[in-house]
Amino acid sequence: MENIPSMDVCLKVQGLNKSFGALPVLKDWDIELGKGERLVILGPSGCGKTTFLRILSGLEKPSGGVIDKDNLKIGFVFQEARLIPWRNVEHNIKFVDGQRDMKEILTRLKLTGFEHYLPFQLSGGMRQRVNLARALIIQPDLLILDEAFASLDLKIKMEIIEDIHQLWLDEHFSIISVTHDLKEAVLLADKIVISTARPSRLKRMIPVPPEIGRKIGSSVFLKMESDLVKMICED
Amino acid sequence: MKVSLPGKQSPFFKGEINSLSSKTWRIVKCRTKAFLNALQIAVGITLVILIWQGLALTVNKNIIPPPWETLRLFWVEMFSANILFATWQTFSKVVLALLFTMIVGILLGLLLGLSDSLYEICRPIIMLIQAVPVISWLSLVIFAWGIGWKGPVYIASISLLPISILTTVSGVRNLDKNLLEMARVYRVTRQKILKDIYIGTLMPFIVAILDVSIGQAWKVILVTEYLCGGKGLGVEILMARMNIDFPRVWAVTLIAVSLGIIMEKSVKFVLWKISRRWMFV
């Protein structure tokens, strides 16, 4: 798997292995992520994509390999919002001790006016926005998206992806996301890596030219999508 | 010129009427519900007094005195220095027992809830304590401390402790692991996790422990005061029984019951106020 020569490296993963008992999940994963670079991981269900994200965020220990992520501030957008049910939106965001201005983040994520709402009073899309706001309030160097939009309808998904894109343009944090949605992958990526089934290896790395990523529905965008389908089904 | 026809209103006006009437309707509905509740309680109390009166007429009048006589004595006794002192004695014991049960029970429950092996080790002891009848504790307590306040407080605490521990264990096991993981990812401080996640999750369980324990604590304290207490309402009931003064037995019992209910309602009200910070109210 070739790597794109790029800017300053913010994360370097070498020979990463993970097994759960006798069950090998990740095998020799090598990933290099530049500062401000966006990486999307595609692969079959159960291949260990989420396990990789959990290792990065410190929730799991690797069985082998090296991860170089010195003092990296990580914001994690979970698949389910994981909000404290008895705390309102503002308190849920403040819970993670962010240094960023609360008002600004609420405005940018269209949450103004919902500060005092409890999670159960919000729609799924709004809850995911709070989930994202909580990740961004800490001013992360790396934003992790773990199938963050899987349960949202297309319109809301596109709106949130657009919001993330705008925030990324302004702040240039790095992003690693895991998804099964190819459109989402092309929209959110500078490069896409495809993993095999378990025990998973990274079999291919595809750079996404910026002009493709913003032209949803264009012929180049659609071609990229169909190429991805072929590559995923290659095994 | 636009002329509005009689009986026809603009949608805006119509909407205003509808919203006003629905608001009024809600108030009327609430008040009717409250009135019906009060009526039901009044009917219940009347029924109790009627049955009581019936029993007083049919059973021995000395054992079950008529309600008016008991209520009159209840009113007189309630303000006598002797009963006020006894009430204070019993009340302090109930508070002490509840404090012990809550603090020790919740702390132990937290520990046992977090460690499965510790829970399995301690489970037989908890089961044993739960199964030991009050009367067995009483015998031990009389030998250990004789007559006094320690016995009732100890027995009430030890009887309520298993409920408190087991309910807290259920609460800890009910903790949302996803929330704890989220807190770990963001390296949230332990104090914050305890305040925002643990207490929030445990709050309904703490309310449930108090809900069960208050009434139980009053009953156990009264019984143990009766059998080994130095002072208190239980001792007053014992004295009245020894003097074959049954109206006084009933009057003091009524004082104890009323105080138990008042304490339960007050604690629940305070808890409701506090727990609003953690609950969806």
Check whether A4 has a pLDDT greater than 60. no
Whether A30 contacts A79, CB under 8 Å? no
**Minimal CA–CA distance to A48: which of A62, A32, A38, A34?**
A62
- Residue B136: pLDDT band with limits 50, 70, 90: confident
> What is the per-residue pLDDT for B18?
54
CA distance B116 to chain A (A): 21
Q: What is the mean pLDDT of residues B78-99?
A: 90
Q: Among A72-81, A97-106, B16-25, which is the least confidently predicted range?
A: B16-25
Q: How many CB pairs under 8 A join A and B?
A: 47
Domain ranges of chain A: 1-71+174-235
* Percent of chain B with pLDDT strictly greater than 90: 30
- List pLDDT tens digits, range B28-56: 888 888 899 999 999 998 998 899 888 88
Interface test with chain B among A69, A84, A90, A97, by most B beta carbons within 10 Å = A84
> What is the per-residue pLDDT for A2?
41
> What is the per-residue pLDDT for A129?
92
Whether B107 contacts B193, CB under 8 Å? no
Report chain B residues touching chain A, CB-CB < 8 A.
178-179, 181-186, 188-189, 192, 196-197, 200, 203, 277-280
Residues in B touching A84 (Cβ below 8 Å)? 179, 196-197, 200
> What is the per-residue pLDDT for B171?
92
> What is the per-residue pLDDT for B174?
86
Q: Among A5-9, A42-46, A206-210, which is the least confidently predicted range?
A: A5-9
SS3 content of chain B, % helix, strand, coil (to 5): 85, 0, 15
Residues in B touching A76 (Cβ below 8 Å)? 182, 185-186
B192/A57 touch (CB, cutoff 8 Å), yes or no: no
Residues in A touching B200 (Cβ below 8 Å)? 84-87
CA distance A176 to chain B (A): 15
Selected residue with higher pLDDT from B144 and B239? B239
> What is the per-residue pLDDT for B183?
95
Whether A199 contacts A27, CB under 8 Å? yes
> What is the per-residue pLDDT for B70?
85
> What is the per-residue pLDDT for B3?
45
* Percent of chain B with pLDDT strictly greater than 70: 91
B280/A118 touch (CB, cutoff 8 Å), yes or no: yes
CA distance A235 to chain B (A): 34
A82/B179 touch (CB, cutoff 8 Å), yes or no: yes
Q: What is the mean pLDDT of residues B119-136?
A: 90
> What is the per-residue pLDDT for B193?
92
Check whether B14 has a pLDDT greater than 60. no
B178/A80 touch (CB, cutoff 8 Å), yes or no: yes
Residue in B with minimal Cα distance to A73: B186
> What is the per-residue pLDDT for B281?
38
The mean of the pLDDT values for chain B is 85
Nearest to B182 among A58, A78, A91 (CB): A78
- Cβ count within 10 A of residue B170: 14
A1-71+174-235 in CATH: which number? 3.40.50.300
Q: What is the mean pLDDT of residues A134-144?
A: 93
Selected residue with higher pLDDT from B222 and A233? B222
- Would you tell me which CATH number, out of the four given (3.40.605.10, 2.70.150.10, 1.20.120.640, 1.10.3720.10), belongs to the domain B67-275? 1.10.3720.10
**Minimal CA–CA distance to A137: which of A188, A85, A74, A72?**
A74
